[in-house]
């Protein structure tokens, strides 16, 4: 009974959060500014994720991102395979809609801007993963138990801020381009008659998807630290 009540409470909180966020300012600049902060200690990390099924800041933020992705997919009126995939609908929608027959008009400069953003994003992400991977390897070889968690968090806290800062700049650069071209206004005004409307929606969708990937990194590293602490709490002998 307690488990059923916890699940019901969790789902109720998600719905309430989604309704509250539907009226908030969801410009790219504000979405990026609202990214959850990174945890400061292993105890904080543990308390964020345990007991399980907690509504963490990352889960709340993911709900907001999904709502924005859904808005874009809805606005595309089934004319974008990319937005269908970003919103997580493609496997179901491809059975009912033939995306291959849709022709999307393109602004070449916008396409180039999106391509440049993608290249920069994945370059920054690869650098980050390489940096923490090399450092974590030595931790796993030398440390045990809670020492692993402390060292994990220390490495993440050194490397993560720079990664987040660089990703934010990459995404905001594309957002500024879209502002300068008046494309964000096209989205806010739902101007579906614009010749590049679908491409503009897709560009926004790609930015949201990259924010989601950044969120996954933040969530993942905190959850990793929290799980290490949890193991030591449940099996203290294994952490001596």
Give the pLDDT confidence of 101-128 residue by residue, as tens digits: 899 999 999 999 999 999 999 999 999 9
Q: What is the DSSP letter of 39?
A: P
- Dihedral sign for Cα atoms in the order 114, 119, 123, 126: positive
pLDDT for the residue 21: 47
Which residues lie below 8 Å from residue 170, measured CB to CB, with a gap of 6+? 117, 120, 121, 124, 210
Contact 161, 38 (CB under 8 A): yes
Which residues lie below 8 Å from residue 240, measured CB to CB, with a gap of 6+? 144, 145
**pLDDT tens track for 182-196:** 999 999 999 999 999
Contact 186, 192 (CB under 8 A): no
Contact 174, 203 (CB under 8 A): yes
Q: Where are the domains positioned within the chain?
A: 25-239
| Residue 139 CA: distances (Å) to CA of 44, 65, 228 | 21, 34, 13
| Residue 127 CA: distances (Å) to CA of 27, 68, 140, 153, 169 | 28, 29, 20, 18, 16
| Res. 79 pLDDT band, cuts 50 70 90 | very high
| Res. 24 pLDDT band, cuts 50 70 90 | low
| Res. 144 pLDDT band, cuts 50 70 90 | confident
Which residues lie below 8 Å from residue 42, measured CB to CB, with a gap of 6+? 146, 149, 150, 153, 225, 226, 228, 229
Predicted confidence (pLDDT) at residue 12 exceeds the cutoff of 50: no
| Res. 100 pLDDT band, cuts 50 70 90 | confident
Average pLDDT over residues 37-45: 92
Q: What is the pTM of this model?
A: 0.87
| Res. 162 pLDDT band, cuts 50 70 90 | very high
The CA distance from 141 to 233, in Å, is: 21
> In whole numbers, what is the pLDDT of the chain averaged over residues?
89
- Dihedral sign for Cα atoms in the order 131, 132, 133, 138: positive
Contact 83, 202 (CB under 8 A): yes
């Amino acid at each position: 009974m307690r488990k059923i009540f916890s699940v019901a409470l969790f789902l109720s909180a998600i719905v309430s959060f989604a309704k509250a966020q539907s009226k908030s300012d969801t410009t790219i600049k504000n979405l990026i500014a609202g990214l959850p902060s990174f945890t400061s200690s292993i105890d904080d990390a543990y308390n964020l994720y345990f007991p399980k099924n907690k509504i963490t800041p990352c889960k709340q933020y993911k709900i907001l991102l999904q709502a924005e992705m859904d808005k874009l997919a809805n606005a595309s009126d089934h004319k974008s395979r990319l937005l269908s995939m970003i919103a997580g609908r493609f496997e179901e929608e491809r059975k009912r809609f033939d995306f291959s027959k849709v022709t999307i008009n393109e602004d070449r400069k916008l396409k180039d801007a999106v391509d440049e953003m993608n290249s920069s994003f994945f370059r920054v992400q690869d650098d980050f993963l390489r940096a923490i991977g090399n450092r974590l390897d030595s931790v796993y070889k030398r440390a045990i138990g809670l020492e692993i968690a402390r060292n994990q968090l220390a490495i993440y806290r050194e490397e993560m801020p720079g990664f987040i800062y660089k990703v934010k700049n990459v995404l905001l650069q594309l957002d500024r381009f879209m502002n300068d071209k008046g494309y964000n206004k096209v989205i806010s005004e739902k101007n579906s008659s614009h010749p590049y409307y679908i491409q503009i929606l897709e560009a926004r969708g790609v930015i949201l998807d990259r924010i989601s990937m950044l969120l996954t990194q933040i969530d993942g590293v905190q959850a990793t630290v929290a799980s290490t602490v949890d193991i030591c709490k449940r099996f203290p002998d294994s952490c001596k």
